[in-house]
Chain A
Amino acid sequence: MTVLNVIVALVVAGLIAYYVTTINKVAGSYITIIATVAALVLFLVNGDRILANDAIGIISFTVTPLGWFFTVIMLVVYSMVSFFNPYWMKKLLYPASYNMLYLLSLAGTLGVFMADSFVVLFIFWELVVWSSLFIIPFGKSRNASVVYYSMSTFGSFTMLYAIFLLYAKYDSFIIKDVLAMAGNDPGVALAAFILIIIAGLVKLGIFPFHIWLPMAHGNAPDTFSPILSGGLVKLGAFAAILVSTLLPIYEAFDNQPKIFGVPILIYGLMVLGAISIVVGTLMAIAQEDAKRLLAYSSVANAGYILIGILMYNQMAMSGALVHIFAHAVATAAAFLAIAAVSYRTGTTKMSELGGMIHKMPITYIVYLIAIISMAGIPPMAGFISKWLIFQALANQGLFLIAAAMFFGSVGSFLYVFRPLSAVFLGQLKPQHKDVKEAPIGMVIPMVILSGISLFYGIFPISLIDYTAKIEKALGFENVVETSGLVIKGNNGDLHATLITAIFAFGFFIALAIFMIAPKSRKVDLMDTYTAGEFLYTPDLYHYSYSYYAPFERLYQKHPDIVAIYAGLVQRITDFGSFIRYIFFSKRPSTGIFWIVLTMILLMWGEKL
């Protein structure tokens, strides 16, 4: 099988899934599982030596280590999430279209990652946008889809403009050649870089383009939110890496004034990344809906990824790549855990839940592992990436960016802990007394995702070595180094396996102390200290609404970016009605005026 065959096969499978679903809903969703898992196995077995068949006319593919890395991340997310599809068939309004679009969007992402020329990249980029666009309104809101599409289109148009600009200049669509040539011409490089990176920023959800994430992630069907956050957002990171490494940015913008040795444009983009981290963190802390909370956390994490990419050295790039992987896996697991809770209870509002750990212990552990990775705590993969990015930041001395990053890093403890506390811990609500653990078909993929997070947190070396390979392919002079189980940093070494061993050692000491001491007596959750009051309603004895109220109050009156966009929308609407008033008026005099004017202009002819 070649890449082209896989993509064609996925499109065909999508069409088959559509027709099968119209006959039998569940059977159709099984096709999505089979197709995605088969594609994943194929890519894992062949590795990055998989052939790219570039037979069909202008559509040509090439397999790079970078593309393969992204493809595998995407396939892992898609294949694991697809196990949830059968359970959602009854809930969706158009299950047949959902299954088809699910596979089409996957085909689109593969096309983007393997694209050889800009035209192919753009076509498949649009395929992803269009297929995901129609899935989002299957959830709670149509408006979310409109915002998502408007934002995406803005990015797509700037990219398209860059593509035509480069084609007009260099008469080629081949990504590698065109960008390398543009790199020698600072003016073109600047225009192309800004136009393409905007597409990346929009997709990643960097401030001020971040508003589509909470709307789309929060309102999409529960099974598609993990795809959006873990998968499609990462397309933006791919575009950003592509344009920054192939130019390459630090050589192309060498003539710009520098701040801390960073060209001013790049520093400005890093500041946008830093703002995204701060805004994402603060907004995530204030959310009441678990899915919107995770969506804002994706905004914050996109900031880390962008900063890692733009620092453009081996540690930071490796950190960004590992973070893309770690965050994709962790956020998918977290969204799936919330989806499982939503499947059993029918809500994702945190204040309507509580004590789910007593009914869904495995889902709880999955969520716990996911948040440990998202907060960057060992022994999970998220720690490795944060460590790498911090190394690079400390080395370059970008302390203002670092301050934002530390704020996001500590702030992430706050927002990831909130669903843990409000949804899974605390008092169980009486109406959830009969809730059961998620069905086995949901538990398996969630456990696999947790296992991946844990495995690469303990043994990150193979992952780091692959990022070194990607860096070599992208033309880095130095690549991140490892020896044995140790990652070599600029200012210190990281032995992830040792850290895990030490933690396990500490844990066993604690376990031993616990076992030696006398056994405890199990008591009910309501049998707690109440300062002498008698309480009988668990609902009222669960702290979950407006969790960080004292902290939220400090920034309650923050300026809202949505208001600026709303103002923009109003301007465009006004302009539209003005145009309509002038050109499409119902008054006959206006119509006759335009006809006469057109006639005069026509008769005047070329002399005008």
Chain B
Amino acid sequence: MTITNFLVAFAIAFCGWALQTSVSGITRKTVARIQKRYGPVWFQNFRDIFKLFSKRAVTHGWVYDFGVMMALGGIIGTAMFTPVANIVAFRGYDNFFIFIYLFAVGMLGMAMSAVGSGNPLASIGVMRALTQMVGYEVPFMIIIIALINVESTSSISKLVDIQQASGWNILVMPIGTIVGFICLMGMLGKKPFDTYIAPAELASGPMVEYGGKQLGMLMIMHEVATFVEISLFVNLFLGGGVTIFDFLIKYFLVYTLTSYISNVLGRFKIDQVIKFYYKVPIVLALIQAAMLIIFGWGVR
């Protein structure tokens, strides 16, 4: 473990942020064109973030600030473990469970900060976000545990290597990939799973009180988190990338697809989210796990 590893890791996190901010800008533009609008410039999100950092904000106490820092810190930490094509900062230690649980540090930080603002709308938003988490995490983890079982490794970079040698997981476990994609939509909070933000009902839920630098940091956190989630999907199901361009194309396609789907759907209520996840994806996930573990269908 040298200082180089840390620098590479930081570079991944930083470039991931820059990448995702640009990609989401491009998507905003294309979505606007589909809807016959002009749309903002592709670097609008960068503008927003830098504008927010120049503003003087309010604070609701120390936990309001500390939670924001914990959120951004946790998500940056997770992004630093993310393998991008053949660039892996900590080879062998990029364990799948780290992604789930280190990610949770960031989420906990944000939840804490939001509730610390004292606004009940933020509490309701956090309640919905956590409830939604129960929905999407369980099917996703079932798929991954089946994958780990048949490949005997939980290291993301090793799973990528295996896929590049002998076929992507989307071909080996198509049902699992569908479940993974539905869960990804939930993780990203894209419609129909944007219940916890729901601007019209909850005034943006957890984000209701934020402004200035705190909101800027949360926007950075959101972009980095999206980067981690999309990369995780690309690495787990689409074989990562042999080269960086390969990875970027897959990344762009997956994100654009989620955004387009999101733009044609309405919003679920929170109990509908849970009911949906415990009806369709979890059953599919169990079928896929049984196919892999019991029957050995699709095991290389």
A residues adjacent to B (C-beta < 8 A): 260, 355, 357-358, 361, 364, 368, 372, 375-378, 383, 386-387, 390-391, 393-397, 399-400, 402-403, 406-407, 410-411, 413-414, 417, 420-421, 425-427, 489-495, 498-499, 502-511, 513-514, 516-523, 525-529, 531, 541-544, 547-548, 550-551, 553-554
Contacts and interface: CB of A to CB of B under 8 A. Distances in A.
Contacts of A554: 271, 274-275
A551 B289 contact: no
Contacts of B238: none
A520 B54 contact: no
A513 B72 contact: yes
B234 interface: no
14 contacts: A357-B61, A378-B101, A383-B101, A490-B152, A492-B96, A498-B1, A503-B74, A505-B6, A506-B73, A510-B71, A514-B65, A528-B60, A529-B208, A543-B124
Contact of B93 (A391, A420, A493, A544): A493
Given A400-B286, A527-B58, A550-B128, 20 more contacts: A357-B63, A376-B101, A377-B108, A394-B145, A394-B148, A397-B149, A397-B293, A399-B286, A399-B290, A403-B141, A407-B134, A413-B107, A413-B108, A413-B130, A426-B123, A492-B153, A502-B77, A502-B81, A513-B213, A553-B271
Contact of B58 (A383, A410, A498, A522): A522
A41 B139 CA distance: 47
Given A425-B63, A520-B57, A528-B209, A542 B126 contact: no
B217 interface: yes
B68 A510 contact: yes
Given A503-B105, A529-B209, A550-B270, A406 B59 contact: no
A372 B70 CA distance: 13
B220 to A, nearest CB: 8
Interface in B85-136: 90, 92-93, 95-98, 101-102, 104-105, 107-108, 111-112, 115-121, 123-124, 126-128, 130-131, 133-134
B83 to A, nearest CB: 13
A509 B145 contact: no
B247 to A, nearest CB: 22
Contact of A529 (B71, B119, B155): B119
Q: How large is the interface on B (under 10, 10 to 19, 20 to 34, 35 or more residues)?
A: 35 or more
B91 to A, nearest CB: 10
Nearest to B151: A491
B59 A523 contact: yes
Given A403-B142, A410-B134, A505-B6, A551 B271 contact: yes
B106 to A, nearest CB: 9
B110 to A, nearest CB: 12
B155 A492 contact: yes
Contacts of A517: 53, 212-213, 216
Given A413-B130, A543-B123, A399 B293 contact: yes
A369 to B, nearest CB: 12
Contacts of B81: 502
A402 B289 CA distance: 11
Contacts of B153: 491-492
A393 B145 contact: yes
B289 A399 contact: yes
Nearest to A530: B119
Nearest to A485: B1
A521 B145 contact: no
* 6 closest cross-chain pairs (CB), A and B: A507-B73, A506-B76, A517-B213, A525-B118, A506-B77, A510-B72
Contact of B102 (A386, A390, A417, A499): A499
Contacts of A390: 97, 145
A544 B124 CA distance: 10
B84 interface: no
Given A403-B286, A410-B134, A505 B77 contact: yes
Contact of B131 (A407, A421, A505, A550): A550
Contacts of A495: 90, 93
A514 B69 contact: yes
B55 interface: yes
A550 B124 CA distance: 11
Contacts of B203: 529, 531
B93 A518 contact: no
B232 interface: no
A363 to B, nearest CB: 13
Nearest to B214: A520
A382 to B, nearest CB: 10
B173 interface: no
Given A355-B118, A509-B73, A518 B217 contact: no
Interface string B227-243: 00000000000000000
A546 B286 CA distance: 32
Contacts of A406: 137-138, 141-142, 145
B115 A425 contact: yes
Contacts of B127: 543, 547-548, 550
Contacts of B57: 518, 520-521
Contact of B213 (A426, A520, A525): A520
A403 B76 CA distance: 28
A526 B118 contact: yes
A531 B208 CA distance: 11
Contact of B60 (A376, A413, A525): A525
B118 A521 contact: no
B300 to A, nearest CB: 15
Given A499-B102, A502-B81, A520 B152 contact: no
B56 interface: yes
B217 A417 contact: no
Contacts of A372: 105, 108
Contacts of A525: 60-61, 117-118
Contacts of B160: none
A375 B115 contact: no
A41 B290 CA distance: 51
B154 interface: yes
Interface in B22-79: 53-63, 65, 68-77
Given A421-B123, A491-B152, A506-B80, A551 B134 contact: yes
Contacts of B10: 505, 509
B294 to A, nearest CB: 8
Contacts of A526: 118
A421 B117 CA distance: 11
A377 B101 contact: yes
Contact of B69 (A361, A420, A510): A510
B271 A410 contact: no
Interface string B1-22: 1000010011001000000000
Nearest to B203: A529
A352 to B, nearest CB: 16
B58 A513 contact: no
Nearest to B9: A502
B34 to A, nearest CB: 32
A260 B145 CA distance: 15
B146 interface: yes
Given A399-B286, A510-B73, A528-B117, A410 B123 contact: no
Nearest to B269: A550
Interface in B147-167: 148-149, 151-155
A132 to B, nearest CB: 34
A506 B75 CA distance: 8
A492 B95 CA distance: 7
Residue picked from A386, A395, A403, most chain B C-beta under 10 Å: A403
Contacts of B213: 513-514, 517-518, 520
